[in-house]
Structure 1
Amino acid sequence: MEDLIAELRTLLNGGGAHVSFKEATSGIPFKMLGEAPHGLPYSIWQLVEHIRIAQWDMLEFSRDAGHTSPEWPKGYWPSESAPSDEPAWLRTLEKIGDDLEAFMTLLETEDLYKPFPYGNGQNILREALQIADHNAYHIAEIVMIRRLLGIWK
């Protein structure tokens, strides 16, 4: 079990074949966070905020039977294309890291396979894989936008 948890931690942190969230979001000029190049539907800010909202929702669903998810899809996407200011950007990045760490605690303290007493048979393992898959998908979009904007290595 320890090996599986270690692999899940690596996966959730962007290890192996994936760019990490931290790597994908570091060094972005603030003024470019709201850019949506070539008619793309989302900016980097909107993708990062979407990651925050969705990851928070999966975390809360995993630890609170009374949690109510946002309305889909509207509640999962910010309407603004850019953060209001740099502190808002930094708070979002910090919240994503804090929520991910809180989820990691669940990985280490809960039975990975035991279905939640609510929901439709979900468990911690399923939620971990869903967070990793969802984040990797949108992290790749962030990298693509950065390439289109000429701000990727």
Structure 2
Amino acid sequence: MTSTKAADKFHTGPDEQQPLRKEIVALLKGGQAHSTFDDVIKDLPPDHRGVVPPHLPYSAWQLLEHLRIVQRDILNFSAPPTGGYHAIKWPDDFWPKSPLPTSANAWDQSIAAMRSDLEHFIALIENPKSDLYKPFRWGEGQNLLREAMLIADHTSYHLGELVVLRRLLNIWHK
């Protein structure tokens, strides 16, 4: 590979983890083997967001909020805010109590927070200074790769549940 002095100014060496970073970002954005977040929440009628279908323990609102809370917790664990990571109580703090959104704006605010937190997490993954394999100084050996896979796996699982919920309510658009 040839390079110019100008290019060398911005390039400190190859990022051997770059191919993996690219695949992780694609996995986090979804849509490869399942519906995307945007596909699943698209046009979900407001009057159905708090409905708990028979034989299910939660509403679309509870699933959306659970996804947001877990993703935020993993982001905070992976890149702790000033003052460090503070664990929240499982399962109490991970699921909203009420099946109904807390306000008229709560649904849209939760979606916006999901998108924003995912962007922040993806920025961690895409940062060539982030070692995907290096265990965090806190926790029990977790690393950025593990946390990315956890977000992808958890989100995929619950998006599937949202699809089933929508089908039970006869509001699935596909």
| TM-score between the two structures when normalised by the length of structure 2 | 0.85
Count of aligned residue pairs for this structure pair: 153
* C-alpha RMSD over aligned residues: 1.1
Q: Could you tell me which residue of structure 1 aligns to residue 94 of structure 2?
A: 76
Q: As a proportion of its length, which structure holds more helix? A: 1
Matched, 1:59 2:86: no
Matched, 1:145 2:159: no
* Per-residue Cα deviation, 1:127-149 (whole angstroms, up to 9, x for no partner): 00000000000000000000010
| TM-score between the two structures when normalised by the length of structure 1 | 0.96
Extract unaligned runs of 5+ from structure 2. 1-16
For residue 90 of structure 1, give the secondary structure of its aligned residue in structure 2: helix
Matched, 1:87 2:105: yes
CA distance in 1, matches of 2:104, 2:156: 24
CA distance in 1, matches of 2:44, 2:104: 11
Q: Could you tell me which residue of structure 1 aligns to residue 5 of structure 2?
A: none
Q: Which of the pair has more CA radius of gyration?
A: 2
Q: Which amino acid aligns with 2:126?
A: E
CA distance in 2, matches of 1:83, 1:22: 19
Q: 1:31 offset after TM fit, Å?
A: 0.7
For residue 135 of structure 2, give the secondary structure of its aligned residue in structure 1: coil
* Per-residue Cα deviation, 1:26-47 (whole angstroms, up to 9, x for no partner): 1000010011111310101000
19-28 vs 83-92, greater mean Cα deviation: 83-92
Q: Could you tell me which residue of structure 2 aligns to residue 45 of structure 1?
A: 61
Q: 1:69 offset after TM fit, Å?
A: 1.8
Candidates 74, 99, 107, aligned match of 2:125:
107
117-126 vs 79-88, greater mean Cα deviation: 79-88
* 1:125-136 alignment runs, 5 A limit: 125-136=145-156
For residue 105 of structure 2, give the secondary structure of its aligned residue in structure 1: helix
For residue 68 of structure 1, give the secondary structure of its aligned residue in structure 2: coil
Q: 1:124 offset after TM fit, Å?
A: 0.4
97-106 vs 62-71, greater mean Cα deviation: 62-71
CA distance in 1, matches of 2:102, 2:123: 31
* Per-residue Cα deviation, 1:72-121 (whole angstroms, up to 9, x for no partner): 00000001101133311100000000000000011012110111011111
CA distance in 2, matches of 1:57, 1:84: 20
CA distance in 1, matches of 2:41, 2:58: 15
Q: Which amino acid aligns with 1:82?
A: L
Q: Could you tell me which residue of structure 1 aligns to residue 20 of structure 2?
A: 4
62-71 vs 43-52, greater mean Cα deviation: 62-71
Extract unaligned runs of 5+ from structure 1. none
CA distance in 2, matches of 1:149, 1:87: 22
